[in-house]
């Protein structure tokens, strides 16, 4: 699997430039309001981090705001805004000089290939801002998180990708502007919800919920609870109308229709890793470092919970439901507090928990739509000692009949994790 470059990896090559006042004036006259731009400031106010089709204009214009050092807007800024396509081979049209509010816009048409594309806005000699977009054509069945930025070079988070079942044809869904984690397909396979860390200071279990619609190529921020509000897992309701989120140790159900919220599980313990199936919401309960983690179920997604799995000697974590709601993937650590997780499957019809062979050092299992396979995250240095460090996270496909594991991302290459399988619709 080849990971396409993220924001931090792009080697910039200037391909196309377009001035906001219509290009170079053949008379050599300066645009209105021209003057010293040495103290000009600029920021992107709209149109960054969009998803679009290759070769087509993005849905929203890219807008920047130009001000002086005191923050006052600069109309007809000293030089026209110069727009330059740095990556992707696209084009810019309809560019304007800044208006009375200091805002200037441009229409960005993406280049012909899928992947991250970059546009640069520049005013004067110092004010420069880069804008990112992702060109996306076809849906692939597996959504996952990869980190193209080497962690020893400052990378500490993820970027969303899609790929085929065998790990080929990986293409980014997000640009790497932010840190994105925990993708979850909607039941109809048209949307992906995930957690986004909007601030660099946030930890991996903090962020807000963003929903990508792969039909309309639009994104929406479902929550805005402060950049570093704790978030420890999310999932869709079976009807696709709500999302359950572990927010600050409680489980909260959020309506996608009106944004309303209701807390469905709130105790002194941490309620984390929710997964919503036809039987209800399964989740993990963490009552502290001296207590083993247990799995609980909210039948129907509301009311009183019941303990589903817990024996006091092992840690249990919820990973996800099968598409028909008959089985639940569970992470298991024995004894509690030990280093390595393995995967088990809980069958609701028989109330039996069956271990998946050969999954020591494996976490985050997700069923294939036919329930015959599973995709999971493996850390190779724990499983077989073949490599070490955070770069060893990779994804494997597990045949649940034979137990055979097939790596579908690089074993010791770009870190990859947190996969979810698109439902068959």
The string of pLDDT tens digits covering residues 233-278 is 999 999 999 999 999 889 999 999 999 999 998 888 999 999 999 9
The rounded distance, in Å, linking the Cα atoms of 176 and 49 is: 9
Bridge partner list, 344: 330, 355
Tokens 């055979």, residue located: 404
For residue 137, say if its preceding peptide bond is cis, omega within 30 degrees of 0: no
Phi first, then psi, for residue 413 (nearest 5°) are -105, -135
What is the pLDDT, as a whole number, of residue 178?
85
Complete domains list, the chain, with CATH: 7-135 (2.60.40.10), 142-421 (2.120.10.30)
Coil, strand or helix at 125: coil
What is the pLDDT, as a whole number, of residue 17?
59
Task: Say what the pTM is.
Answer: 0.87
- What's the 3-state SS for 370-401? CCCEEEEEEEHHHHCCCCCCHHHEEEEEEECC
Other Cβ atoms less than 10 A from the Cβ of 39: the count is 13
In contact, 235 and 276? CB cutoff 8 Å: yes
Structure-block tokens of residue 52: 């679009």
Residues 6 or more apart from 329 whose CB is under 8 A from it? Answer: 318, 319, 320, 321, 322, 343, 344, 345, 365, 366, 367, 374
Q: Which residues of 289-315 are buried (b: 16+ CB within 10 A; e: fewer)?
A: eeebbbbbbbeebeeebeebbbeeebb
Residues of the chain with pLDDT under 50: 7-15, 21-35, 78, 150-155, 382-383
Phi-psi region of 78 (alpha: psi -120 to 50; beta: other; left: phi over 0): alpha
The rounded distance, in Å, linking the Cα atoms of 76 and 32 is: 6
């Amino acid at each position: 699997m080849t990971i396409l470059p993220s924001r931090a990896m792009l080697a910039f090559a200037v391909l196309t430039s377009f001035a906001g006042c219509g290009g170079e004036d053949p008379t050599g006259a300066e645009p209105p309001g021209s003057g010293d731009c040495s103290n000009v400031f600029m920021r992107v106010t709209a149109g960054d981090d969009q998803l679009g089709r290759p070769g087509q204009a993005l849905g929203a214009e890219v807008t920047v705001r130009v001000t002086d050092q005191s923050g006052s807007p600069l109309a007809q800024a000293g030089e026209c805004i110069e727009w330059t396509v740095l990556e992707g081979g696209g084009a810019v049209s309809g560019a304007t000089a800044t208006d009375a509010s200091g805002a200037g816009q441009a229409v960005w048409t993406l280049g012909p290939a899928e992947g991250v594309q970059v546009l640069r806005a520049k005013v004067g000699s110092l004010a420069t801002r880069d804008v990112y977009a992702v060109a996306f054509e076809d849906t692939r069945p597996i959504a996952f998180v990869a980190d193209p930025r080497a962690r020893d070079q400052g990378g500490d988070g993820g970027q969303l990708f899609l790929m085929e079942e065998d790990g080929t044809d990986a293409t980014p869904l997000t640009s790497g502007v932010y840190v994105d984690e925990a993708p979850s397909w909607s039941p109809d396979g048209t949307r992906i919800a995930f957690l986004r860390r909007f601030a660099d200071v946030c930890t991996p279990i903090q962020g807000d919920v963003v929903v990508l619609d792969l039909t309309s190529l639009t994104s929406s921020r479902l929550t805005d609870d402060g950049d570093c509000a704790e978030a420890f897992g999310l999932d869709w309701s079976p009807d696709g109308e709500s999302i359950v989120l572990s927010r600050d140790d409680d489980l909260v159900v959020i309506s996608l229709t009106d944004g309303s919220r209701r807390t469905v599980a709130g105790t002194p313990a941490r309620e984390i890793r929710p997964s919503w199936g036809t039987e209800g919401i399964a989740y993990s309960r963490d009552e502290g470092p001296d207590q083993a983690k247990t799995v609980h179920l909210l039948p129907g997604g509301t009311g009183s919970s019941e303990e589903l799995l817990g024996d006091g000697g092992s840690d249990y974590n919820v990973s996800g439901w099968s598409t028909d709601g008959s089985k639940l993937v569970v992470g298991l650590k024995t004894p509690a507090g030990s280093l390595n997780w393995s995967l088990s499957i809980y069958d609701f019809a028989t109330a039996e928990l069956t271990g998946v062979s050969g999954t020591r050092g494996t976490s985050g299992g997700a069923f294939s739509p036919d329930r015959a396979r599973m995709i999971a995250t493996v850390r190779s240095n724990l499983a077989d000692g073949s490599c070490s460090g955070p770069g060893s996270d990779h994804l494997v496909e597990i045949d649940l009949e034979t137990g055979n594991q097939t790596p579908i991302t690089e074993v010791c290459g770009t870190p990859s994790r947190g996969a979810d399988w698109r439902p068959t619709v």
